[in-house]
Structure 1
Amino acid sequence: MTNPAIEPAREGRFILLLGALVAFGPLAIDLYLPALPAIAIGLAATPEAVQLSITVFLAGFGLGMLFYGPISDRYGRRTVMLSGIALFALASLACMLATGVEQLIAARFVQSLGGGAASVLARAVVRDVYTPTEAIRKLSLMAMVTAIAPLLAPLLGSVLLAGFGWRGTFAAVLLWGVLSFVVVWRYLPETLPAERRGQLPLGAAFAAYFHLLRDPVAVGLLLAGGMSFAAMFAYITASPFYFIELQHFSPAAYGALFAANAVGIFAANYVNSRLAKSRGAAVMAGVGSASGLAGALLLWMAMSVGEAVPAVIAGLFIVVSMTGLLGANCVGLLMARYPQNAGAAAALFGSSQFGFGMWASAAVSYTHDGSGRPMAWVILVTAAISLAGYLLFRRVSR
Structure 2
Amino acid sequence: MKAQKSTILLSRLLPLLAAIIAVSPLAIDMYLPGMPTLADYFSTTMPLVQNSLSIYLLGYAVGLLVFGPLADKYSPRVLVMLGLTGFTVTSLALTLVNSIEQFIALRFLQAFLSAAATVVVPGIIRQLYGKDTAKGLSYVSMIMMLAPMIAPSIGSVLLQHSWQLIFYVLAGYALVVFIGSYYQLPDVDKIHSSVKLTVLQRYQVVFRNRAARFDLLTAMLVSLAFFAYITAISFVYLTVFKVSEFEFSLLFAINILALMTAHFTNTRLVGRVGSRRMLGFGVLVAFVASSSLLLASILNLPLVYHVLAILPLMGSLSMISVNADALILQQFSAHAGTVTAVNGTLRFGIGSLAGPILALCYDGSALPFALLMAVAIYLVIICQFCGYKLRQAAEDV
TM-score by length of 1: 0.86
Q: Does 1:228 align with 2:222?
A: yes
> 1:86 corresponds to which residue?
85
Q: 1:26 to 1:229 in 2, by over 3 A?
A: farther
CA–CA separation in structure 2 for the residues paired with 1:246 and 1:99? 38
CA shift, 1:46, in A, is 5.1
Mapping for residues 75-114 of structure 1, pairs under 5 Å: 75-97=74-96, 99-114=98-113
Distance between the aligned counterparts of 1:239 and 1:50, measured in 2? 20
Match of 1:346 in 2: 340
What percentage of aligned pairs have identical amino acids?
28
Q: More displaced, 177-186 or 47-56?
A: 47-56
Unaligned ranges ≥5, structure 1? none
Question: Which sits farther off after the overlay, 313-322 or 276-285?
Answer: 313-322
**Counterpart pick for 2:181 among 173, 176, 184:** 184
The residue aligned with 1:156 is 154
- Aligned position for 1:141: 139
Distance 2:192 2:166 in 1: 43
Residue 275 of structure 2 is matched in structure 1 by 281
- Which of 281-290 and 352-361 deviates more? 352-361
Q: Quickly say closer, same or farther: Cα 1:27–1:322, change in 2 above 3 A.
A: farther
C-alpha contact (below 8 Å) 2:223/2:348 kept by paired residues: yes
CA distance in 2, matches of 1:353, 1:306: 31
Q: Following the alignment from structure 2 to structure 1, what is the Cα–Cα distance between the partners of residues 320 and 330?
A: 15
CA contact (8 A) 2:282 2:317 kept: yes
Match of 1:375 among 364, 369, 372: 369
Cα offset, 1:97, TM superposition: 4.8
Shift of the alpha carbon at 1:71?
0.5
Which residue is equivalent to 1:128? 127
Distance in structure 1 (CA, Å) of the matches to 2:38 and 2:305:
30
SS in 2 for 1:338: coil
Q: Is the 8 A contact 1:298 1:315 kept in 2?
A: yes
Once residues 358 and 112 of structure 2 are traced to their aligned partners in structure 1, the CA distance between those partners, rounded to angstroms, is 23
Q: 1:214 Cα deviation (Å)?
A: 2.7
Alignment partners' CA distance in 2, 1:293 and 1:96: 45
Q: Is this contact kept in 2: 1:231–1:319, CA < 8 A?
A: no
Q: What is the Cα deviation at residue 284 of structure 1?
A: 0.9
2 CA distance for matches of 1:43 and 1:244? 28
Aligned residue identity for 1:383: I
Structure 1 window deviating more from structure 2 (111-120 vs 327-336): it is: 111-120
Q: 1:224-263 CA deviation, whole Å, 9 max, x = no partner? A: 1222122112222233444446655555543332221111
Does structure 2 conserve the Cα–Cα contact (< 8 Å) formed by 1:244 and 1:250? yes
| CA distance, structure 1, for counterparts of residue 7 and residue 25 of structure 2 | 29
Distance in 2 (alpha carbons) for counterparts of 1:302 and 1:36: 33
CA distance in 1, matches of 2:93, 2:244: 28
TM-score (norm 2): 0.86
Equivalent residues of 1:244, 1:251 under 8 A apart: yes
Alignment of 1:6-25 (within 5 A): 7-25=6-24
Give yes or no for contact 1:68–1:117 (8 Å, CA) kept in 2.
yes
Q: Which moved more, 1:23-32 or 1:165-174?
A: 165-174
Residue identity in the other structure for 2:14:
I
What residue identity is the alignment partner of 1:164?
H
Whole-angstrom CA distance in 2 between matches of 1:314 and 1:49: 36
Q: Note if 1:199 corresponds to 2:196.
A: yes
Which residue of 388, 391, 395 corresponds with 1:397?
A: 391
Match of 1:72 in 2: 71
Two-structure CA RMSD over aligned residues (Å): 3.1
Work out whether residues 58 and 357 of structure 1, in 8 Å CA contact, stay in contact via their aligned partners in 2: no
Taking a change above 3 Å as real, the CA distance of residues 7 and 287 of structure 1, as seen in their structure-2 partners, is closer
- Alignment partner, residue 170 of structure 2: 173
Find the structure with the greater CA-based Rg: 2
Displacement of 1:78 in angstroms is 0.8
Structure 1 window deviating more from structure 2 (340-349 vs 330-339): it is: 340-349
Larger displacement relative to structure 2 (304-313 or 177-186) = 304-313
Return the alpha-carbon distance in structure 1 between the equivalents of residues 58 and 149 of structure 2.
23
Alpha-carbon contact 2:294-2:374 (below 8 Å) kept? yes
Size of the alignment, in residue pairs? Answer: 392
Match of 2:204 among 210, 219, 222: 210
Tell me the alpha carbon deviations over residues 31-68 of structure 1, each in whole angstroms, 9 at most, x when there is no partner.
33444455556555555444433333322222212221
**Aligned residue type for 1:147:** M
Deviates more, 1:56-65 or 1:15-24: 56-65
Partners of 1:192 and 1:3 lie apart in 2 by 20
Residue from 308, 317, 325 that aligns with 1:323: 317
Q: Which runs of 5+ in 2 are unaligned?
A: 393-397
Evaluate the alpha carbon distance shift between residue 345 and residue 263 of structure 1 in structure 2; reply closer, same or farther with a 3 A threshold.
same
Give the match for residue 395 of structure 2: none
Give the letter aligned to residue 147 of structure 2: A
